[in-house]
Amino acid sequence: METRLLTCLQALVSLSLSPLPGRPLTRLCCPAPTKCSFSSHRRRIHSSLSPLDPRCSAVCRSDVFAAASCSTAASKRTLWFGFLFATGWGGDLAHTACSSPPSRLRISLSHRRTLVGSATVIGEENGVIPQANGSARVRLGATDVIVSIKAELGKPHPLQPDKGKVAIFIDCSPTAAPMFEGRGGEELSTELSFALQRCLLGGRSGAGAGIDLSSLVIVEGKVCWDLYIDGLVVSSDGNLLDALAAAIKVALSNTGIPKVTVNLGASPNDQPDVDVSDEEFLQFDTSGVPVVVTLTKVGRHYIVDATSEEESQMSSAVSISVNQHGHICGLTKRGGAGLDPSVILDMISVAKHVGEQLMSILDSEIAAAEASAEDQ
């Protein structure tokens, strides 16, 4: 499989380098060195790709369709590929690519992927197992993650008495890959946990946090909700961080925090009595929870939603979390290879576009899941 991938990638790379022999894509897309942008219709562009040399048809065979918009007039040509989440996206993104500054040749490939965000409640049975407050399972292609959220009463941190606490723990199950056996998954688990904390919980003062920590306080300095977010990677085919972040967003939307009534003790030093209601639940506002978009750099291109095959060939990856205002809420870089600062800025602008789309898809998935839950 990996050799096949390599040939694919080599084919793609050779496409982007116009001095190489064979028919360069730039010439295929726009015969004259003038500005040109494709209408973002996937099928048409797919057919325009097919008459390429055999190396490229290997690319076409592997269910990858291309949409292109380009400008060869630019002196500096950057090329990027986007493997998108849903088939319906290819056109949309290419459209955004068209509307963005046409200073570079851009190709976006859409991979046949589906995004399924279903909200399932884990652990019920009449309070035998005190149930998780919310949970979700997200599948991205062959990647499958489950996130469960549990709220427990706790004490706020003495330095931040007006804030609740949120902890994110990720576990990689050995079912996902044999290398996660024993302690093998620990390194990746902690890396994912920290990356998610950085991307979702915002800065030290709480700015940009997806979860409003001050809403978790019950009595300032005394009682607050501790939110435990547990993620489990059941099946892994790359892009775990994006899938986990999406699952956390869906799970939070499905989370009900019990309503509490507080009886303050007589003296201010007493621990107040807290009465937890088991009927009334408060819902989270999840519109502010950011989504994470990971751009993986393979050769000279960067792709979104990389499969594990693609990740095996990556030089570095940048995970960017984007919220509903299009602001960046966190960023982490993986992989050793260095990146040019301008490339990072370009990645950020791409991640913003992709993030917006992902956000709207997730929101509609959440709404659909909620609607189906209500029907039952």
Partner 1 sequence: MATNPSTYALSQSSESKQRLQQRRRLFQETDWTRSDGRSFHQCRPAFLRTGATNAASGSAYAEFGVTKVIVSVFGPRESKKAMMYSGTGRLNCNVSYTTFSTPVRGQGSDHKEYSSMLHKALEGAIILETFPKTTVDVFALVLESGGGDLPVIITCASLALADAGIMMYDLVASVSVSCFGRNLVIDPTSEEEACQDGALMITCMPARNEVTQLTLTGEWTTAKINEAMELCLDACSKLAEVVRSCLKEAASG
Partner 2 sequence: MEYVDSLTGFRLDGRRPTDMRQIRGEIGVVPKADGSALFEMGNTKVIAAIYGPREVQNKSQQVNNQALVRCEYSMANFSTGDRARRPKGDRRSTEISLVIRQTMEACILTHLMPRSQIDIFVQVLQADGGTRSACINAATLALADAGIPMCDIVTSCSAGYLSSTPLLDLNYIEDSAGGPDVTVGILAKMDKVTLLQMDAKLPLDIFENVMQLAIEGCKAIAQYIRGVLLENTKQLEYRKGV
Binding mask 120-159 for partner 2 (x = CB under 8 A): --xxxx--xxxxx--x------x-x-x-x-x-x-------
**Distance, CA of 72 to CA of 89 (rounded, Å):** 24
CB of 246 to partner 1, least distance (A): 19
Question: Does the footprint of partner 1 cover residue 354 (CB under 8 A)?
Answer: no
**CA pair distance 106, 103, nearest whole angstrom:** 9
Residue pointed to by tokens 């950020």: 348
Which one, 190 or 261, has the nearer CB to partner 1? 190
User: Which lies closer to partner 1 via its Cβ, residue 22 or residue 206?
Assistant: 206
| Footprint (CB under 8 A) of partner 1, residues 171-210 | 187, 190-191, 194, 198, 201-205, 207-208
300 binds partner 1 (CB under 8 A): no
Closest separation in Å from C-beta 148 to partner 1: 23
# binding residues, partner 1 (CB under 8 A): 39
| Stretch 283-322: interaction string toward partner 2, x if CB under 8 A | -------------------------x--------------
- What secondary structure does DSSP assign to 109-141, as a single string? EEE---EEEE----S-TTTTS---SEEEEEEET
Examine residue 159 and tell whether it contacts partner 1 (CB under 8 A): yes
| Structural tokens at position 294 | 């990971």
Kindly state the smallest distance separating residue 142's Cβ from partner 2, in Å.
Answer: 4
- DSSP at 311: H
CB of 325 to partner 1, least distance (A): 8
Binding partner selected for residue 323 from partner 2, partner 1, none, CB under the kind-specific 5 to 8 Å limit: partner 1
Q: Which residues contact 222 (CB under 8 A, 6 or more apart)?
A: 155, 156, 271, 272
Using alpha carbons, list the distances in angstroms from residue 153 to 134, 166, 338: 16, 12, 44
Query: Among residues 150 and 198, whose Cβ is nearest to partner 2?
Result: 150
Stretch that binds partner 2, among 13-21, 170-178, 268-276, 285-293 (CB under 8 A): 170-178
First to last CA, the chain: 42
* Residue with smaller CB distance to partner 1, 239 or 323: 323
267 binds partner 1 (CB under 8 A): no
Decide: residue 139, CB within 10 A, 0-12 exposed, 13-18 middle, 19+ buried. Answer: buried
Stretch that binds partner 1, among 97-105, 244-252, 338-346, 365-373 (CB under 8 A): 338-346
Cα 251 to Cα 257: distance, rounded to the nearest angstrom: 12
**What are the angstrom distances between the C-alpha of 219 and each of 159, 163, 226, 228, 272?**
15, 10, 13, 19, 8
Sign of CA dihedral 38, 43, 44, 45: positive
- Of 195 and 251, CB closest to partner 1: 195
CA distance 374 to 352: 33
Q: Does 37 bind partner 2 (CB under 8 A)?
A: no
- Spatial neighbors of 48 by CB under 8 A, at least 6 apart, are 28, 29
Where residue 208 falls (left for φ over 0; alpha for ψ -120 to 50; beta otherwise) is: left
Residues that bind partner 1 (CB under 8 A): 158-159, 161, 187, 190-191, 194, 198, 201-205, 207-208, 269, 316, 318, 323, 327-341, 344-345, 348-349, 352
Residues that bind partner 2 (CB under 8 A): 122-125, 128-132, 135, 142, 144, 146, 148, 150, 152, 169, 171, 173-178, 181-183, 186, 228, 230, 232, 234-237, 308
